[in-house]
Amino acid sequence: MAKGLPVVRGLRKRWLLNSMGPLVLILLLIAVLGIGVVDSTYYGSARSSLEAKAKAGADYFNTYTMNSYSEYFRTASVYVSSFEDSDVIELQFLNVSGRIEASTRGLTAGTSPGTAEIGRAVESRALASFTGEDPETGERILAVSCPLEFNGTVVGVMRYVTSARQIDRQVLVLDLSIAAAMFGVILLVVISNLLFINNVVEPVAEVTEAAKRISGGSYGIQIPNRYSDEMGELVDNINDMSLKISQSEKMQTEFISSVSHELRTPLTAINGWGETLLADESSDRRQLRRGVEIILKESRRLTNMVEELLEFSKMQDGRFTLRVESVDLQAEFEDAIYTYRELFRQDGIDLEYDNGDRVYDRPVTADPERLKQVFCNVLDNAAKHGGSGKRITASMAEEGDAYVIRIRDYGPGIPEAELPYVKQKFYKGSSKARGSGIGLAVCDEIVQRHGGTFDIANAEGGGTVVTIRLPIDSK
């Protein structure tokens, strides 16, 4: 498990960087934009309010009170004394040099504020604003200055000043609220994603460890499946893979053991009879004939086994091919029946054939040698595994657009638990009959390559029935 941890940590790190990173950056950007909007809205609203007051006051002075310069100062003093918002806004009247001549706060009269918007208002003869620290007090202020004119000349400046402390406090509270909300959202997203990635990482670590054990040779181990999502499907697939690998390993081991035994038996017989015949000086023709027959029989068995192994090798490396032509399936099948009927009779087995008293003249496109190999293998299996029933039946029929061939023995049948595996390579199950265990796998491969099906089942009343279905050529 220790070797798998860096991979798990790497998975968590990649998830956090690739998924969480962009999301956190987006949320931070939203927070910054939100704070910027709040700041702009509050300060902009306060500035607009002051600008409206300044513009209205300046218009009043420029329109109605600028009859003389002395009248301007007298009216300014009256206007200052009657200003209603003096508790939150300071109203100032300045001369063109920037010195305060009248103010709602008398203590500032005679001083010079020194803020930049005063000079801009005089020079541009237009309203100007300022937000920042007061050069005199160091307090953050918001100020708006508007020029006052007499006979086309700027003679003074009307200036509204308010403290930005209250605005700063409100903006700070809202900014902190936005920041706290975003922090909470980010924290919630991070926690939920960590919980999610942990729920992914832990099963991945468990599956990784199991896969390592399987690759190390612990075939057949099963992972407890506690998941109902895609991870559950992955665990099921790995468990199925582990079980199948275990079965495959077991079958290959049994195959090697079986082939070794199958090869040893005929070779022992051939060697034994060869030595017997060499040592026999009696020249007994009956003994000689019997020995030669046994040697030939065992040689044929070896040849068949080697041919099966060669066919299996071709299936494994993709060299298994068909040489197709138009074939009379009935003739090929009946040739196999007639060939094996006499052989079975010698062993006391009766081979019965039923074609429904019909001639099936519609051809099939197939490899005749491969099909004969299938028929012979199935008939041979019926004799080996079901010969105790002393009877084998074979039939051929036309069903729809396919020919159906059935070969049945009347032996003990196949255990139900073994039926799903009998066509697998190397599988022999509980059968004690001789063979390599790959014959049926080769037959299944041949029939499938002809576009047909190859099925094995237990027949009603006992025994095993093999059903071969092959498509008929369309006219």
Here the CATH number for the domain that contains residue 104 is 3.30.450.20
Question: Is the domain of 333 the same as that of 461?
Answer: yes
Total domains, the chain: 3
User: From CA 305, how far away is CA 166, in angstroms rounded?
Assistant: 100
Predicted structure pTM score: 0.45
Question: Is the domain of 364 the same as that of 426?
Answer: yes
**Beta partners for residue 133, in sequence order:** 140
Name every residue whose Cβ is closer than 8 Å to that of residue 102 and which is 6 or more positions away in sequence.
Answer: 73, 76, 77, 80, 92, 93, 109
Domain presence at residue 186? no
Q: Which of 169, 192, 220 is the last residue of a domain?
A: 169
The mean per-residue pLDDT over the stretch 220-232 comes to: 74
Q: Which of 280, 298, 317 is the last residue of a domain?
A: 317
Question: Is the domain of 305 the same as that of 342?
Answer: no
Is the Cα dihedral 353, 347, 468, 299 positive or negative? negative
CATH number reported for the structural domain that contains residue 274 in this entry: 1.10.287.130
**Structural domain that includes position 70:** 2-169
pLDDT of residue 352: 92
Residue-wise pLDDT for 91-130, tens only, equals: 888 888 888 888 887 766 678 888 888 888 888 889 998 9
pLDDT of residue 370: 86
- Minimal CA–CA distance to 100: which of 55, 136, 153? 136
Residue 392 has pLDDT above 90, yes or no: yes
| Mean pLDDT, rounded, of the chain | 80
Most confident by average pLDDT, 34-38, 65-69, 114-118: 114-118
Question: Is the domain of 299 the same as that of 346?
Answer: no
Question: Is the domain of 306 the same as that of 346?
Answer: no
Domain presence at residue 183? no
Question: Is the domain of 160 the same as that of 72?
Answer: yes
Question: Is the domain of 99 the same as that of 142?
Answer: yes
- Minimal CA–CA distance to 435: which of 470, 383, 399, 475? 383
Q: Which of 298, 317, 336 is the last residue of a domain?
A: 317
pLDDT top residue among 305 and 45: 45
% the chain with pLDDT above 90: 13
pLDDT top residue among 8 and 375: 375
Domain presence at residue 14? yes
pLDDT of residue 3: 44
Question: Is the domain of 292 the same as that of 257?
Answer: yes
- Minimal CA–CA distance to 144: which of 133, 128, 155, 156? 128
Per-residue confidence at 283, pLDDT binned at 50, 70, 90? low
Question: Is the domain of 303 the same as that of 337?
Answer: no
Angstrom CA distances, 152 to 59, 60, 95, 127, 156, stand at 14, 16, 15, 16, 12
Angstrom CA distances, 284 to 226, 277, 280, 281, 294, stand at 76, 10, 8, 8, 16
pLDDT of residue 7: 44
pLDDT of residue 402: 93
The helix/strand count (H/E) of the chain reads as: 10, 12
Token pair for residue 203?
């099963």
Question: Is the domain of 355 the same as that of 285?
Answer: no
